[in-house]
Structures are given as C-alpha cells and as structure tokens.
Amino acid sequence: MTKRLVALAGDGIGPEIMSGTLEVLQQLSQKFQFEYELEEHLLGGCAIDQLGIPLPESTLTACKNAHAILLGAIGGPKWQMAPVRPEQGLLKLRHSLKLFANIRPTKVLPEMVKLSPLKPAIIENTDFIIVRELTGGIYFGEPRILDTDSATDTLVYTQSEIENIAHVAFQLAKTRRYKVTSVDKENVLASSKLWRRTIEAVAKQYPEVELEHLLVDACSMKLIQNPQQFDVIVTENLFGDILSDEASMLPGSLGLSPSASLGQHGLRLYEPIHGSAPDIAGQNKANPFGMLLSLSMCLRETFELSHVADMLETCIQQLIAQNHTTEDLNGQHTTHDIFKLVKQYIKEA
C-alpha cells in the first residue's frame, strides 16, 4: 500500500534538515522502488506567522490521515512572547494523535567512540532506548496558572497511562537484552509512587525481563558513570525529556538523536529530539544526522523496509568514520555538504 507521509519542517533549522531529508527519501524510493505520497504542512512558529495559530486544522487533519509524520523542529525566540507559542502546537499534535510512547534510542557505534566527551572504556558498546511517556504528566495536567506572584503546574498520572507505557517498555526489552530500568522520583512525588507500584504490577506479566528502579537524580549520574548498564529506560514525560538530551551527548551531539512516537492505529511521528537551534539557524551548520536517522526509523517501522533503513544507517556510520561531520561533531562540513555526501553514497551503493 502506498504510504501517506506528512512533513512538518517547522522553524529554525527544521527546514534546513527537512529539505535534504526529503530529497534523500525521494532518491531512496527510486532506487528501491517503493511509493509514497507526501504532503507538507505548517506547524509551530511558521504556522503562527501565516495563519495565526501553531497547529492549523488543515495540518491536524492531514496528520490524522497519514501513516507517518516527519517533523523537523519548532519554536524560537521570535515567538517567545506570542499568546500561543509554537511548542503548544507540538504538544496539541502529540495529544490529539495520542502519541503516548516516545522511543529515543542512544547507540554508540564503534565509529562514534572518538566523538564522545567520555572515555572510550566508559562509552563503547553503549546501546539503550529511553521510552518516554509523551501525553501525560506535568506537560498536560490542569490547572496551569501563571499569576504575577505565584504559578501552578499540575502533575497527574493515571494507572492506565502508566500501564500503557510500561507494556511498550517491557515488549521492547523482550526484543533486546531483557532489562527495564524504570526512572521516577518515588522518594518525593505521589505520582512517582503510583508509577513504581504500577510498573511493578505490569512487570509480573514479564517474568523473563529484569526490572530495576532508579531515582531520576541517580539515573542522570549513572548515564555518565556507566551508560553500558542500560537497555530500556522507561520514564515519565518530563524526566524523559531531560534524560534524553543528556543521553544524546554520549555519542557526541544532540544533533545525532532520532525518535519515533507511537500512536494508535499504527500512526507514528518521527522527529529528531533536538529543537530549532536558533543560535545556528540559517547558517547551514545544522547536523542532519538526527533527522536522517528519524527517516531511517520511519523506513524501518512504517515502510517495513529494513534493508533501506540499514543502508541509510550504514551510510551515516561511514561518513562519521571518515570524519565527514558538521561543526557540532568538530567536523568541517556544512549541512548541504552532508546531504550531498549521503546522496552520493546512495547513488553508488
């Protein structure tokens, strides 16, 4: 069946990493003879500028009708004071599409060891996945009130929300090394007490999977001290946001990390974990590997073309091995250079 894709380039470096990625997708589809339909839509600051709101109805409808969504990045200082910010568009999109599970892998390939700020012995063979709950917690709890001299956010989790994300984590662990680390703040937060109790209950259905619990502060330390110990980390929305940016630095750059968000009826959204990088936007400096690896996740999961995904990943691996990288990885190349090299590789493969 022809897959329907929606591309949301967004703001800042979003369009810079999206345009080349769509060219790579087109090249791959010709080489490997698969078909897709593509629509491009507005999300974030660009949508505010053109239509007054960050998630226009036309974008939401197109996304609901798609098999997969590719997202660049949204946000930036231009809209910091806007009555509705670009980020609210992204959160509404995740919530409307029930994209409850966000899969954020960190895999340090041998070629990447030299790029890590950590010592090789600590970093080599690191391979874990953060399963971040994406549609609950303090991001969505009500009330949310900003007064002049006080402010309120609300952190709510229901048992069923925790059960749903727990099953994703345990199922994933069964395809890997059979270990789940659940991260919470059980020593302080009521929501984390429910989290731990619920994870324990779900774990009983997966006796073959080892379960450990870590408090989030200790986990953030252990990610640096001994990242090899992790296989699948499952955690709530805000902790997952923070820990995944930390984890992205293990192989050397935030610009390397992809993600996939799982919704109902098989709909998925693929996006790099980084933001719109306003400090380098428009300068042809953005690292496109996180976006390309998100495309690779899309090829593997939505298109079920693992050989095409493998080829794209091998290409990125080889470029890194040959020091063909952008500035964030101490390389000399521009974003355009990298796309050119990727397309050359695919042509010759």
Q: Are 27 and 60 within 8 A, CB to CB?
A: no
Question: Under the criterion CB under 5 A, does residue 186 sit at the interface with Mn ion?
Answer: no
- In the list 54, 76, 251, 258, the residue contacting ligand NAD (rule: CB under 6 A) is 76
CA atoms within 13 A on the CB side of 154: 9
Q: Which is nearer to Mn ion, 91 or 311 (CB)?
A: 91
- In the list 241, 271, 301, 313, the residue contacting Mn ion (rule: CB under 5 A) is 241
**Which of ligand NAD, ligand IPM, Mn ion, none sits in contact with 331, Cβ below 5 to 8 A by type?**
none
CB neighbour list of residue 13: distance below 8 Å, 6 or more residues apart: 72, 73, 276, 277, 280, 281, 286, 335
Q: Are 134 and 261 within 8 A, CB to CB?
A: yes
- In the list 15, 54, 255, 263, the residue contacting ligand NAD (rule: CB under 6 A) is 255
Question: How many angstroms separate the CA atoms of 77 and 81, rounded?
Answer: 8
Pairing relation of β-strands 210-215 and 36-40? Answer: unpaired
Report the site for ligand NAD in 44-73 (rule: CB under 6 A): 73
Q: Which two tokens stand for residue 303?
A: 């298109």
Q: Which is nearer to Mn ion, 241 or 271 (CB)?
A: 241
Instruction: Find the catalytic residue in 11, 157, 184, 185.
Output: 185
**Which of Mn ion, ligand NAD, ligand IPM, none sits in contact with 290, Cβ below 5 to 8 A by type?**
ligand NAD
Q: Which residue numbers belong to the known binding site for Mg(2+)?
A: 217, 241, 245
Question: Under the criterion CB under 6 A, does residue 90 sit at the interface with ligand IPM?
Answer: yes
Question: How many angstroms separate the CA atoms of 32 and 39, rounded?
Answer: 21
Instruction: Find the catalytic residue in 157, 241, 270, 328.
Output: 241
Q: Which is nearer to Mn ion, 211 or 250 (CB)?
A: 250
Residue 132 phi/psi, 5-degree rounding, is -100, 125
Instruction: Find the catalytic residue in 49, 127, 153, 245.
Output: 245
Question: How many angstroms separate the CA atoms of 256 and 249, rounded?
Answer: 9
Residues composing the chain: 349
Question: How many angstroms separate the CA atoms of 155 and 229, rounded?
Answer: 29
CB neighbour list of residue 105: distance below 8 Å, 6 or more residues apart: 128, 129, 130, 257, 258, 259
* DSSP-assigned letter for residue 279: T
Please say if 185 is a catalytic residue.
yes
The site map against ligand NAD for 271-290 (x = CB under 6 A) is: x--xxxxxxx-----xx--x
Please say if 241 is a catalytic residue.
yes
Question: Under the criterion CB under 6 A, does residue 260 sit at the interface with ligand IPM?
Answer: no
Question: By beta-carbon distance, which residue lies closest to Mn ion?
Answer: 241
Please say if 245 is a catalytic residue.
yes
Report the site for ligand NAD in 10-39 (rule: CB under 6 A): 10, 13
Q: Which stretch binds Mn ion (CB under 5 A): 137-145, 224-232, 235-243, 318-326?
A: 235-243
Question: Under the criterion CB under 6 A, does residue 87 sit at the interface with ligand IPM?
Answer: yes
CA atoms within 13 A on the CB side of 241: 10
Instruction: Find the catalytic residue in 11, 139, 231, 270.
Output: 139
Q: Are 41 and 312 within 8 A, CB to CB?
A: no
Q: Which residue numbers belong to the known binding site for substrate?
A: 94, 104, 132, 217
The site map against ligand NAD for 201-240 (x = CB under 6 A) is: ----------------------------------------
DSSP-assigned letters across all residues of 110-161 = GGGGGG-SS-HHHHTT-EEEEEEE-SSGGGTEEEEEE-SS-EEEE----HHH
For the annotated catalytic residues, the residue numbers are 139, 185, 217, 241, 245
Q: Enumerate binding residues for ligand NAD (CB under 6 A).
A: 10, 13, 73-76, 87, 90, 254-255, 271, 274-280, 286-287, 290, 328
Q: Enumerate binding residues for ligand IPM (CB under 6 A).
A: 75, 87, 90-91, 241, 273, 275
